[in-house]
């Protein structure tokens, strides 16, 4: 099928718009490593990772949870993680009674232990319910991290958010693409620090 030249041009433009933003990720490497060291320590203490976001970012939250729970690399141990967007009954239930701004905070308050980690994903950094979730987590003593884009929004400015990673683009689709790389690197480095921080007793290893 012959394709019109404007369509072909649109494809090229779409790809070229992604180059600069993707390269900027390298500048975040130190911040990413710091966060991963803290997270590995939390996992060592028995903490679990709680992830949440809206819309497309909600699917990222699910992706992060499955990444940790079911590692793609053979031999990597499963680390506890859960995504708060998956339970439609609770999400719509809390949304109806307490309000949509509370859907993540509510679940954090009823599921989190102080050793846990909360990761909120928001392409523009201004999702109120994600911020509320991170604030609730901070109040309980959790590690808190915001994965955001654009100028980082209210989430990047919040004192309740201990770690902020900003994808350097204002296009939410490009932000998401960078986020996917960030959480893949995050998972990998958490395992690096986790393995390194041993020693894990053989008996504990054997029961897994």
Residues that bind another protein (CB under 8 A): 1, 3-4, 6-8, 10-12, 14-15, 18-19, 22-23, 25-26, 28-30, 32-33, 37-38, 40-42, 44-45, 55-56, 59-60, 62-63, 66-67, 70, 72-76, 143, 172-174, 176-177, 180-181, 184-185, 188-189, 191-193, 195-199
Strands 143-149 and 49-53: unpaired
Q: Which is nearer to another protein, 72 or 207 (CB)?
A: 72
Q: Closest separation between CB of residue 206 and another protein, Å?
A: 15
Contact 61, 121 (CB under 8 A): yes
Q: Closest separation between CB of residue 186 and another protein, Å?
A: 10
Contact 195, 49 (CB under 8 A): no
Q: Which is nearer to another protein, 89 or 207 (CB)?
A: 89
The number of angstroms, rounded, from the C-alpha of 101 to the middle of its chain's C-alpha atoms is 18
Q: Which is nearer to another protein, 105 or 186 (CB)?
A: 186
Q: Closest separation between CB of residue 102 and another protein, Å?
A: 21
Q: Which is nearer to another protein, 2 or 98 (CB)?
A: 2
CA dihedral defined by 184, 189, 190, 195, rounded to 10 degrees?
130
Please tell me the distance from the alpha carbon of residue 98 to that of residue 21, in angstroms, as a whole number. 38
Cβ count near 120 (within 10 Å): 32
């Amino acid at each position: 099928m012959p394709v019109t030249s404007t369509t072909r041009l649109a494809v090229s433009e779409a790809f070229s718009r992604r180059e600069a933003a993707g390269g900027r990720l390298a500048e975040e490497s130190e911040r990413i490593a710091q966060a991963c060291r803290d997270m590995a320590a939390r996992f060592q203490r028995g903490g679990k990772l709680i992830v949440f976001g809206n819309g497309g970012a909600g699917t990222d939250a699910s992706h992060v949870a499955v990444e940790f729970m079911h590692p793609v690399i053979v031999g990597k141990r499963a680390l506890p993680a859960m995504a708060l967007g998956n339970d439609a009954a609770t999400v719509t239930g809390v949304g109806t009674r307490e309000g949509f701004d509370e859907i993540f905070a509510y679940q954090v308050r009823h599921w989190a232990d102080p050793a846990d980690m909360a990761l909120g994903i928001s392409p523009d950094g201004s999702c109120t319910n994600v911020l509320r979730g991170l604030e609730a987590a901070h109040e309980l003593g959790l590690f808190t991290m915001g994965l955001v884009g654009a100028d980082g929004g209210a989430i990047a400015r919040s004192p309740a958010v201990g770690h902020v990673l900003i994808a350097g683009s204002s296009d939410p689709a490009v932000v998401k693409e960078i986020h996917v790389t960030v959480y893949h690197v995050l998972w990998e480095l958490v395992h690096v620090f986790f393995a390194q921080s041993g020693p894990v007793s053989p008996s504990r290893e054997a029961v897994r």
